[in-house]
Amino acid sequence: MEQHCLVELVQVTVTPTEWVERLEALPILKEVSIRIDRGQFITLVGRNGSGKSTLAKVVAGFRTAGVTGSMILRAESAAGVHRIPIVMQQPEAAMVGATPWEDVVLMLEQNEMEWSQIIPCAEQALHQVGMGERMHQPIETLSGGQKQLVAIAGCLAAHSPLLVLDEVTAMLDPEAAMLVLERVRALHKSGVTVIWITQKLEELRPGDRIVAMNDGKIAYDGLPEGWFSRSINGHTESVCEQLGFEAPYAARVAWELELLGVRLQPFPFTADMLAEAVSSDER
């Protein structure tokens, strides 16, 4: 099936202009090239200061000072502008409505959507993220995870071709974080393209495209199998370990088994994958 490119960056560098003026030209992004195709789930990882949030803003079409290189942005919102909304850690900071329904409707009005489409689009999006029954509930009574879902509904209602989610589970408890992740995974299965920014490798799933940032550059771009493999190019440490990430428990167990001569295939990095791999190996 032919892939449709939404965003392509070629040799993009971002150097803050205020640093240039002080002769401290330290780029945040350094000649980054990446192509994002429709329907992908990209898990964008990186330590604080690695450049992952800046990369997300450039991909989303936000105006960023000190940008050089080539950017092809074919992704457009419902308003026909090359700027995709980003859902942040604290969505309530951008909420203006008293209820989820009002917040999404006001956001669509600000985006100058045709009035006749606003209410149907808002209500459909809230139902998509599982907030249909709470659309008229006061915002202040919602949990952190529910507020994130309202913010995601706003992106869907605006017909955003990309969901860009910047560490949206970082400040949530495990139950709320799982709720948001499951909803986003369901949206991806329905055809939504997702850029999921995180430092939690437990949120990885089979088939994800991992893009890892390190010191302003893309240090890895590929599937989880390569990310966790300890046998690429003769290294005894995986790319995950080389970049200083803590692997999920399942992956650490699989590595220990490898040291004992037991190599599980496919490499398990989730609890479900580990249980299935061990069960298959026993058979």
The segment with the largest mean pLDDT, out of 59-68, 80-89, 181-190, is: 181-190
According to the model, what pLDDT value does residue 130 have? 94
Strand-strand pairing, 209-214 and 217-222: antiparallel
Distance CA 273, CA 168 (A): 25
Given this model, what pLDDT does residue 82 score?
A: 54
pLDDT of residue 17: 66
172 phi and psi, to 5 degrees? -105, 155
Q: Where do the structural domains in the chain lie, given as residue ranges?
A: 38-63+75-214, 232-282
Question: pLDDT digit string (tens) for 130-163?
Answer: 999 999 999 999 999 999 999 999 999 988 888 9
State which H helix or E strand residue 155 sits in: helix 144-157
Structure-token pair, residue 162: 């990309």
Least confident window among 115-124, 224-233, 236-245, 252-261: 224-233
* 8 A C-beta contact, residue 167 and residue 89: yes
Q: What is the pLDDT of residue 110?
A: 85
Name the fold adopted by 38-63+75-214.
Rossmann fold (3.40.50)
The mean predicted confidence, pLDDT, of the chain is 88
pLDDT over 70 at 232, yes or no:
no
Distance CA 72, CA 180 (A): 30
More confident residue, 71 or 167: 167
Q: What pLDDT score was predicted for residue 66?
A: 84
> In this predicted structure, what is the pLDDT of residue 281?
63
User: What order of strands is seen across the sheet that includes strand 29-37?
Assistant: 29-37, 5-14, 67-73
Q: Note the pLDDT tens digit of each residue in 155-203.
A: 999 888 889 999 999 999 999 999 999 999 999 999 999 999 999 999 9
Q: Which segments within the chain are labelled E, that is strand? A: 5-14, 29-37, 41-46, 67-73, 86-87, 162-166, 193-198, 209-214, 217-222
Cα gap 207→200, rounded to integer Å: 17
